[in-house]
Amino acid sequence: MFDPEILQDFLTECGELLEQLDSELVALESTPQDPELLNKVFRALHTIKGSGSFLALTNLVGIAHAAEEALNAARRGDVVIDRSVMDLLLEAVDLLRKQFVELEAGTPLTAPRQELVDALTRVGAGDKVAAASAAGGADPTAPAQSASLAEAASPVAAEGDEFTLPESKADLLEFMVADLDETLARLDAQIDALRSETERDTISGEISHICESLARSVEFFEFSPMSALVSVLEISSERLGQLDDDCLDQVTPRLKAVVELLRRQTEGLRHRRLLPCDASELGGRVVDLVLGHAIDEAAHLGKDADIDTVLRIDGVVMAWSGAGSGDASDPVEDELGLQTSMIEEKAPAMESAAGVGGSAEPGPEGSGGPTRIEQTIRVEVSRLESLLNLVGELVLQKNRVGAMARHIVREDLVTQDLREAVAQSSSDLDRVTSDIQVAVMRTRMQSLDKLFGKYPRLIRDLSRKTDKKINLVIEGGDTEVDKSVIEELGDPLVHLLRNSADHGVEPPADRAAAGKSETGTIKLKASQQGDHVLVQIIDDGRGLDRDKLIAKAIEKGLISEDEGASMSDRDAHRLIFLPGFSTAAEVSDLSGRGVGMDVVRTNIEKLKGAIDLESAPGMGTTLSIRIPLTVAIMPAMMVGVGSELYAVPLTNILEIVRPEADLVSTINGRRVMRLRDTVLPLVSMSELFEQAQDNREVEQFAVVVELNEQRAGLMVSRLIGQQEIVIKPLDGILADSGAVSGATVRDDGGVSLIVDIARVIRTAQEVKAAMAA
C-alpha cells in the first residue's frame, strides 16, 4: 500500500513524538498554561497529523486533527486544560498509539469514537469565535515570522513540478482542491472589499479567519510552496485594519497576486502538479509594507496595477500559469520519486517552524506547523550489533596477540627488537580496542528518560483508578544504559511501579490517619555507580509487614514455621521474590496478575543484574535494582574444572579461598565450609556440569560468589586468570541447558561457557534446604 520506507520513517519519527506526548500531557495537567509545553504538544500532534495525511491514514488524521484543534484552543487561552479535557486528550493519544501498532502490523486502523472527536472538536471550537475577534490585534512576533517566511519561501523554486499521489490519497486531494477554490474566491472578495474604509477592521478580521483555515488545509498536505504564500496572507491580514490608503494601494494588489498564485497552485494540484514558484520577493514586500517599512521606489505600483504587472515587478516566476492548459494527461510513473521529494520538501518547513518556536512568545498562527526536530542520528540496530560483534572480535584478537607476546618473550630465538615490537603492538592494540569498545558502547547508550517518560502517565492513571494521591518524582533520567538494557528493564519497572502505587502507597484517609501527607510520593531514581546503574523505586507508603509475609509464605508451603520464626526482617522481606508468592490479599486489576516479583527478579537476573529491597513498616519501601551498563562485554575469572575451562563473571566474585580440610564438613550429604563466622554452601562445578567421572580432578579452590546477598562457594580445580570476555549467545536449542548463561571465545581460540551465577546460587540454596531438613 505505502512505500515501506516512508511508512517506516513515519512510524519512527512520529512514534518518538507519540512517546513524548504522554509525559508532556501529564506535565501539562499540572501546568496547563505553560506556553512552551502547549506549543510542544501542539506541534507534535500537528506533525503526526500532517505526516499521517500524507499517507492517507484517514482515521489517524481524524483523531490527531481533533486533538490538535483542542490544543490550539488551549494555546490561545480560550480553554483551560482541566482533568476532563486531559482525559479526552489522553484517550486520543492512546488511540493514536493503538493505530501505530495496527499500522506496524498492517491491520486496518481503528476509527476514533465519534463522541471523542466531537468532544475534542467542541473544545477546539471555543477558539474560532475568540480568534476572530482577537485577530486584529498587534502581533509582536511578526518580525520573527517574516524572517522565517523568507526561509520558507526561498527554497520553493527548487521543488519538482509534478507528482502523483497514492490512490487512497486522491479523494482527499479532490476534496481539498474544491475547498481551496471556494476559500480563495471568498478571500479575493474580501480583499476587494478592503477599499471600504468603514468596514476595514471587520474585514481584516474576516480575512485573518479565512487565512487560518486556509493555512490548516494547506499544512494538511504539507505543500510548502503553498504554505509560504498562505503565511504571507496570514501575517498581513492581522495588520490590514491599521494601514493607510496609500499603503493599502500597494498591499492589496499584491495580496490579490498572492491569492492568484494560490489559485494557480490549486489548479496545478487538480492536475497533480506542484508548481515551482519563487514568491519570496513578493512576500517580503508585503510583509515590509504591512509593518510600515519602506520598499524600493522601483517597486511602487501604479494605480490599479493588474496581477501580471505585480508579478513582473515583484519578480515572481511561475512555470505553469495557464489554468487547465498544462499537460495533465502526462502520466508520472515514478510515484516513489515523488514521495521522496515530498518528504524532503518538509525540511525547509521545519526550519521555519524552528524559527517561530525560538521566539519568546510564539504567535497563535505559526507560519508552519511542523515540529522542531532534534539533531539526531538514527543507526540501525542491526548495524550497531554487527559493529559490536566486530569489536568483540577485536577484543579477541587483542587477547590472542597478548598470548603470543607471552609466548614469544619466553623463546630465546627472537631478538630483543622483536620482543619489544610485539610488546608494543600488544599494548597499542590494547589501547585502541578499549577506545573502540567505549565508543561503540556509547552509540548504543540511551538515556533512561526513554523509559521513565512513560511512567508519569502510568502513575496518573493508577492514582485515578485507586483514588489515591500519588506524586511521581523522577531523578537521574539522564543516566545512560545500553539499549538492550532499556528494552529489558521496561516491563520490570512498570511492574514495580504498579506494586508501589497499588500496595505501597495508602489511600489518602489512611495516610492522614497515620499522620502523613495525603499525597504519597513514589521516587524513581537512577544513578551510575562505576560500571553499574542503580535504579531505585522509593515509596513512602505502608511498607512491608514482616509477620504477614511470613504467615503467607508458611501458608503457601514456601518455608517452614521454624524458619519463619527465626527469620530476619531482611530475609522476610525477600520472601516476596520467591516463586508463587503474591502479597495482595485479593487479585487487583492493577498489579496482581499472577506474575509476581519472582518474574521481575528473573528478568533482572537475565540482565546480569540484582534486585533487593528494604522496607520499614509505616515508612515505605525501597526497591533497588543494580544492572550492568552493558551486557555484551564483562570481566570474568577463567577457572579450570577437569580438562574444561569456564568463565565466572567477576562482578559476582567476592573472594577466592582454598579451604583447609578441617573447615569443610558434610551435613546431610551436602558439603559446606566455614568461612570466618559464616557457613558457606559449596557447589562442585564438576557435579553441577555433570562431568564424566574420568575427567574429574580434585577441586581445591572455592570461588565465593554472591548474588542478591546470597552466597555460595563454587568449587573448581584450577584458577587461570582474569579476562575481558565477549559474551556470545548460545543457539536456541541450547537454551535449556545447564547452569550456563552464554559462551565466550578464549584467548587460545577455544570456547568456554559462562557460569550462570543465579543457577549456582539456587543450587546452593537447595544445599542449604537439604541441610535444614
Where do contacts with another protein occur on this chain (CB under 8 A)? 389, 392-393, 396, 644, 688-690, 728-734, 736-740, 743, 745, 749-753
**Amino acid present at 469:** K
- Cβ-contact 716, 699 below 8 angstroms: yes
Nearer to another protein, 227 or 744 (CB): 744
Nearer to another protein, 25 or 638 (CB): 638
Nearer to another protein, 138 or 692 (CB): 692
Q: Residue 738 CB, nearest distance to another protein (Å)?
A: 4
**Amino acid present at 413:** L
**CA-to-CA distance for 288 and 688, rounded, in angstroms?**
84
**CA-to-CA distance for 235 and 749, rounded, in angstroms?**
71
Nearer to another protein, 448 or 683 (CB): 683
Grid cell locating 258: 498572492
Nearer to another protein, 292 or 749 (CB): 749
What is the pairing mode between strands 519-529 and 469-475?
A: parallel
**CA-to-CA distance for 607 and 484, rounded, in angstroms?**
9
Query: Between 58-75 and 83-105, two packed helices, what is the crossing angle to 10 degrees?
Result: 150
Q: Across-strand partners of 625?
A: 535, 611
**CA-to-CA distance for 177 and 182, rounded, in angstroms?**
9
Nearer to another protein, 626 or 746 (CB): 746
Nearer to another protein, 581 or 689 (CB): 689
- Cβ-contact 378, 12 below 8 angstroms: yes
Residue 75, SS3 per DSSP: helix
Within 10 A of 234 (CB to CB), how many other CB atoms are there? 25
Strand (E) positions, 49-200? none
Query: Between 200-221 and 35-54, two packed helices, what is the crossing angle to 10 degrees?
Result: 60
Q: Residue 711 CB, nearest distance to another protein (Å)?
A: 23
CA angle, 347 then 349 then 351, to 5°: 75
Nearer to another protein, 598 or 644 (CB): 644
Q: Residue 686 CB, nearest distance to another protein (Å)?
A: 10
Nearer to another protein, 470 or 688 (CB): 688
Nearer to another protein, 370 or 640 (CB): 640
Q: Residue 644 CB, nearest distance to another protein (Å)?
A: 7
**CA-to-CA distance for 375 and 227, rounded, in angstroms?**
24
In the chain, count H helices and then E strands: 25, 20
Q: Across-strand partners of 612?
A: 624
What is the pairing mode between strands 610-616 and 620-628?
A: antiparallel
Q: Residue 687 CB, nearest distance to another protein (Å)?
A: 10
Q: Residue 689 CB, nearest distance to another protein (Å)?
A: 4
Contacts with 28 (C-beta within 8 Å, 6 or more apart), sequence order: 34, 37, 38, 41, 81, 86
Q: Residue 397 CB, nearest distance to another protein (Å)?
A: 10
Grid cell locating 562: 521454624
Strand (E) positions, 559-602? none
Grid cell locating 692: 564424566
Q: Across-strand partners of 526?
A: 535
Nearer to another protein, 617 or 729 (CB): 729
Q: Residue 762 CB, nearest distance to another protein (Å)?
A: 14
Nearer to another protein, 459 or 745 (CB): 745
Residue 481, SS3 per DSSP: strand
Nearer to another protein, 579 or 750 (CB): 750
- Burial (0-12, 13-18, 19+ Cβ within 10 Å), 150: middle
Q: Across-strand partners of 667?
A: 670
Contacts with 493 (C-beta within 8 Å, 6 or more apart), sequence order: 451, 455, 524, 535, 537
